[in-house]
């Protein structure tokens, strides 16, 4: 027997022929095909991926905006004179000056003077924090 004879031809025993259709017809013994479920799941997954990508883009944009809020340069105190340098050139042990209203370049200890510092970016508190030696 050939495949043509078994599946498409009318040869052979009646029990040997196998008829099939590409789409099932509605009947009592025919299983249902739920294409709307497959489409719904696909749309749901794609929507989830889209919302995740959008949330990642927004959060990274917020982090970039926070990075721009920091100080760009700092006034370093050397031998009683101030010299402005970029923050990248600041090393451990340098003494730097913070004027009123100026952004604080990095974490450190107060050596001289006292002031109220707006630390809301770090602590979330809207009230300025008193700092001193």
- Give the pLDDT band (50/70/90) at residue 17: low
Residues 59 and 84 grouped into a single domain: no
First to last CA, the chain: 100
More confident residue, 58 or 35: 58
Please say if the pLDDT value at position 45 is more than 70.
yes
Residues 90 and 55 grouped into a single domain: no
More confident residue, 6 or 89: 89
**What pLDDT, in 10s, does the model give residues 93-109?**
888 888 877 777 777 78
Tokens of 89: 């050139």
Q: Where are the beta strands (DSSP E) in 25-102?
A: 73-78, 81-86, 96-97
**CATH label of the domain that carries residue 118:** 2.70.150.10
Q: How far is residue 76's CA from residue 88's CA, in Å, rounded to a whole number?
A: 12
Residues 13 and 39 grouped into a single domain: yes
Of 68, 92, 119, which residue constitutes the final position of a domain?
Answer: 68
Residues 39 and 17 grouped into a single domain: yes
Residues 41 and 85 grouped into a single domain: no
Rounded to the nearest 5 degrees, what angle is found at the Cα of 68, between the Cα atoms of 109 and 58? 125
- Mean pLDDT calculated for residue range 23-43: 74
Residues 90 and 122 grouped into a single domain: yes
Please say if the pLDDT value at position 37 is more than 60.
yes
Q: What pLDDT sits at residue 34?
A: 75
- Tally the domains of the chain: 2
- pTM of the full structure: 0.43
Residues 41 and 8 grouped into a single domain: yes
**What residue numbers bound the domain in which 94 lies?**
73-131
Q: How distant is the alpha carbon of residue 100 from its chain centre?
A: 36
- Give the pLDDT band (50/70/90) at residue 66: confident
Residues 60 and 89 grouped into a single domain: no
Residues 38 and 55 grouped into a single domain: yes
Q: What pLDDT sits at residue 49?
A: 97
């Amino acid at each position: 027997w050939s495949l043509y004879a078994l599946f498409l031809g009318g040869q052979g025993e009646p029990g040997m022929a196998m008829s099939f259709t590409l789409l099932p017809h509605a009947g009592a013994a025919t299983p249902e095909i739920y294409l709307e479920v497959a489409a719904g799941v696909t749309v749901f997954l794609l929507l989830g991926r889209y919302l995740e990508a959008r949330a990642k883009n927004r959060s990274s944009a917020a982090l970039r905006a926070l990075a721009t809020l920091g100080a760009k340069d700092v006034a370093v105190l050397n031998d009683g004179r101030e010299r402005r340098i970029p923050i990248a050139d600041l090393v451990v042990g340098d003494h730097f000056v913070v004027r009123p209203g100026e952004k604080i370049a990095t974490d450190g200890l107060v050596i001289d003077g006292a002031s109220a510092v707006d630390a809301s970016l770090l602590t979330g508190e809207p009230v300025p924090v008193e700092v001193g030696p």
